[in-house]
Structure 1
Amino acid sequence: MMKVVFGIDVSKSASTVCELIGESKNEFEITNDRPGFLQLLKELHVFAIHPQIIFEATGVYSRRLQTFLEDYGYDYIILNPLKAKKEMDQGLRHNKTDRNDAYHLALIQKLYHHPVNQSQAEEYHQLNALSRFYDQLTSDLIMAKNRLHQALQSTFPEIETLFSNSKGNNYWQIIKQYPHCESMIESDKEQIVRWLLTLKGFGNKHAQKTAKKLLKLAHKSYPVVKDDSVETKQARYYADRQLVLSSQRERIIDQMTALAKKLPNRDLEILESIPGFAQTTAVRVLAELGDMRRFSNPNKINAFIGIDPGRYQSGEMDSSLSITKHGNAVARKILYRAIGQIDNAAKTNPCHIADYYESKKRSSQTKGFKKIAIASIHKLIRTIYALIQNDQLYDYSVATHNQKDFCRN
């Protein structure tokens, strides 16, 4: 029977659809709403066997189409836009001015035979949405932190040296209470101590020491503006913003953890068993990679997150390039940071991935540690995939034993 492919070029409010039946094609446009999707459904129902449906991932716009197809039991192929463009450029001959992407997507499917996307439980979609919300809040935190820094340069810049370690909620609470050095000077030490004791983690000794340092910094400071200035109000606002955003991020991780524990597997527990994988890292890796059982091998996950090596082929030349970066950039970033966390944790909790990372760094003749980290991510993904496929928790002795067997073979 002749294969039928539906190529769909998804835009904001409308989509172009190309039905490719053998060499003939039929093109039409639909709106990205219920009437438009029902029009598409009518066209799909014409064929006894479900056509292959292919489109590009375009964020929230393509998500609506995905939901419709899943609701009506249709499989689909969804491509990363960069990968789709590359395949169009390499595999198809078309004019540069030709904008018929729906037709080209259908041709790509006929040429490359991409497998359909494996559907996942709704919980994975919710986890992914929460992970992206967490990422947005992190960006908002960074913006608020930068704006707070700018305001403090006019009101109380020395307070930024109060704590030498990482700044947390207590630091933001102190700035919210004392955003200007004059407000600090106007308070006596015992008044400051009593207020500090209301903060979590402050004992009397720590409060006395902090109050003394705060007063010293306040007397040392020379502000640009007065205590009742707009900049003072900005400093207080952005300190409060840090507290609100940090609290929201914590609630999101709690939601994600509760959701992950409802899944009919122990994937979260498996990820948390890897040294250096705190709960936040574990649940976000799960949210970004989804159900890893849907991948036939670890290389598919590498391609999914865009750390598979690109290749350049021209005539007799065939060389490997740097990673493609075609996939999930958020997952790439989380896993890249995870390598550093694994390496730090290895001081007390050994991991064969940290052993590999340190070995490569020692033997490297250059400072190309980023490439070493990417190679370590490959190893980490293989480890995660094997643990989940076999429903096993991480065990250093088992991992090193398997590593030796792999090297011998």
Structure 2
Amino acid sequence: MSKQIVALGKPAVSTEKYPDRQVKKLFCGIDIGAETLAIAVMEVDHPWVQREFANTVAGHKALLNWLGKMKAPVRVSLEATGIYSMDLALALDATEFVEVAVLNPKRVHDFARTLRRSKTDSADAQVLAEFSLRMPFAAWQKPSQSALALRAISRHLEALVVQQRREGNRLHAAERSLATPRCVIADLKRSLAGVDRRIVKLRREALTLIAADAHLSQRFRLLTSVPGIAAVSALQILGELVLLAPDMKVRQWVARSGLDPVHQDSGTSVHKPSRISRAGSRHLRRALYMPALAAVRWDPHLKAFYEALLARHKRKLQALIAVARKLLHAIYGIFGSQTPYDGSKLFPHLLTI
């Protein structure tokens, strides 16, 4: 009976098709751009092999054909870069001889500082290949179609809300100016009304999608049990959390959001104020900001936490960011326990007011 190599989360791959798969393994890094993919492939004690492919469906097929000709299992690392990486990750995950890891860019950046001085696409691809070889490997888990659709809708909604705010500001400025002709004001009103209708329609589509999926529906109900998180905010937050791997810890959630604190103290001379890393998803940070503002008004536990920070001479923005981070901890907890929010469990040491 022939030996088999088992890729994480995939069926066993027979070595009869590739008889030398059991004697070598390749490590691949892919630096993803909007138009191109820079590829670096390494085998231990062998020279680098580098290529470039288009970041299109045809380019993905050409890449997989090229890797297949090497007749060896391939461990691939790439950075999470939103829409530019998702289709490639799905294509790689569907290939039997490929294991794929989708990495937090901050983690790759920290790793890269030990290896390179130059920053080019080819150098970035080599760093990712080295990461595949040297670091513990965690295989990417393909999200459901509902999760992918929800994230796409929530991101588009976020862009439309930004557009809505800009159009509203332009209309306000135009109406206050005597020099603005009526036709311009009328056009701005039509534009703003159109954006409003699109937002309402997309939110309705997102809620229908959530209602049709039991897992998403349960998480949506749990989110709306948190003070400060209503349906609109829950939709945006869930759209960002839905693609996170189910085995991630809460610290990894915080790091992925970019809300993790960065301390800069060294010896007796360097004592810079702490700040957040901002190395994660700005979309998740933005989705948590308004709920944090509402929570410090309506939840006694988060309000007490916020006021305790202000009493320690933290700036209001610093305190709000800390509340947003606590909200993320709370969401992680209620998702794990499948129970509605209870602030006393989040702050057992704080007295409510």
TM-score, shorter chain, exceeding 0.5: yes
Mapped to 2, the partners of 1:291 and 1:97 lie a distance apart of 29
Match of residue 108, structure 2, among 76, 84, 105: 84
Residue in structure 1 matched with residue 78 of structure 2 by the alignment: 55
Is residue 337 of structure 1 aligned with residue 290 of structure 2?
yes
Shift of 1:118: 2.8
CA contact (8 A) 2:28 2:132 kept: no
Equivalent-residue separation in structure 2 for 1:233 and 1:373 (angstroms): 42
* Residues 48/384 of structure 1: CA separation in 2 closer, same or farther (3 Å cut): farther
**Aligned partners of 2:79, 2:121: CA distance in 1, in Å?**
17
Q: Deviations over 1:249-291 (max 9, x none)?
A: 1222221112122223200000011112110011111001115
- Work out which of the residue numbers 37, 40, 44 in structure 1 matches 2:60: 37
Q: Paired residue for 1:70?
A: 93
Query: Is the CA contact 2:31–2:39 (under 8 Å) kept in the aligned structure 1?
Result: yes
Say whether the 8 Å CA contact 1:151–1:232 is kept in structure 2. no
Match of 2:32 in 1: 10
Asked if 1 retains the 8 angstrom alpha-carbon contact of 2:224 and 2:230, the reply is: yes
Verify the 8 A CA contact 1:276 1:341 in the aligned structure 2. yes
Q: Secondary structure at the match of 2:196?
A: helix
Residue 151 of structure 1 corresponds to: 174
- The one-character-per-residue Cα deviations of 1:52-75 (angstroms, maximum 9, x if unpaired) are 211233443323312322343654
> Aligned pair 1:386/2:333, yes or no?
yes
Contact in 1 for aligned 2:222/2:335 (Cα 8 Å): yes
Cα 1:317–1:85, aligned 2, differ >3 Å: closer, same or farther? Answer: farther
Alignment counterpart, residue 238 of structure 2, candidates 286, 298, 302: 286
- Matched-pair contact (CA < 8 Å) for 2:25–2:73: no
Bigger Rg, structure 1 or 2: 1
Pick from 346, 359, 371 the counterpart of residue 308 of structure 2.
359
2:129 equivalent to 1:102: no
Is the aligned partner of 1:277 residue 2:226? no
The within-5 A match list for 1:3-402 is: 3-24=25-46, 25-45=48-68, 50-72=73-95, 74-81=98-105, 83-88=107-112, 90-95=113-118, 100-113=123-136, 115-154=138-177, 224=178, 231-265=181-215, 266-290=218-242, 294-310=246-262, 321-346=274-299, 350=300, 352-361=301-310, 363-366=311-314, 368-394=315-341, 396=342, 399-400=343-344
Q: How far is the alpha carbon of 1:81 from its aligned partner?
A: 4.4
Q: CA deviation at 1:298?
A: 0.6
Distance of aligned partners of 1:241 and 1:4 in 2 relative to their CA distance in 1, 3 Å threshold: same
Amino acid in the other structure paired with 2:288: L
Letter in structure 2 aligned against 1:404: P
Q: Name the aligned partner's letter for residue 256 of structure 1.
A: A
Distance 2:221 2:323 in 1: 22
Q: Is the 8 A contact 1:292 1:385 kept in 2?
A: no
- 2:121 and 2:202 map into 1 onto residues whose CA distance is 44
* Structure 1 residue 332 displacement after superposition: 0.3
Which amino acid letter does the alignment assign opposite residue 383 of structure 1?
A
**Which secondary structure does the structure 2 equivalent of 1:52 belong to?**
strand
**Residues of 1 paired with 2:43 and 2:266: CA distance?**
32
**Is the 8 Å Cα contact of residues 77 and 101 (structure 2) preserved in structure 1?**
yes
Query: Cα 1:139–1:270, aligned 2, differ >3 Å: closer, same or farther?
Result: same
Relative to structure 1, the CA distance from residue 319 to residue 107 in structure 2 (aligned partners, 3 Å threshold; closer, same or farther) is farther
> Do the aligned residues in 2 keep the contact of 1:4 with 1:19 (CA within 8 Å)?
yes
Tell me if structure 1 keeps the 8 A contact 2:90–2:142.
no
2-structure distance, mates of 1:151, 1:98: 45
How much has 1:98 moved relative to structure 2?
Answer: 8.8
Which residue of structure 2 lines up, in the alignment, with residue 180 of structure 1?
none
Q: Aligned pairs, how many?
A: 324
Superposed CA offset, 1:365-402 (max 9, x none): 24x122222222222122111111111112x4xx4156
Output the CA distance in 2 between the equivalents of 1:111 and 1:372: 39
Q: Name the aligned partner's letter for residue 326 of structure 1.
A: A
The SS at the match of 1:310 is strand
What is the RMSD computed on CA atoms of the aligned residues?
3.1
Query: How far apart, in 2, do the equivalents of 1:98 and 1:76 lie?
Result: 19
Letter aligned with residue 221 of structure 2: E
User: In 2, are the aligned partners of 1:285 and 1:334 still within 8 Å (CA)?
Assistant: yes
Q: What's the CA shift for 1:316?
A: 11
Q: Distance in 2 between matches of 1:137 and 1:96?
A: 34
State the AA in 2 paired with 1:145.
Answer: G
2:148/2:243 contact within 8 Å kept: no
1:105 deviation in Å? 1.8
CA distance in 2, matches of 1:382, 1:146: 35
Identity of aligned residues (%): 23
Task: State the SS of the aligned residue for 1:28.
Answer: strand
Q: CA deviation at 1:356?
A: 1.6
Higher mean alpha-carbon deviation, 7-16 vs 234-243, is at: 7-16
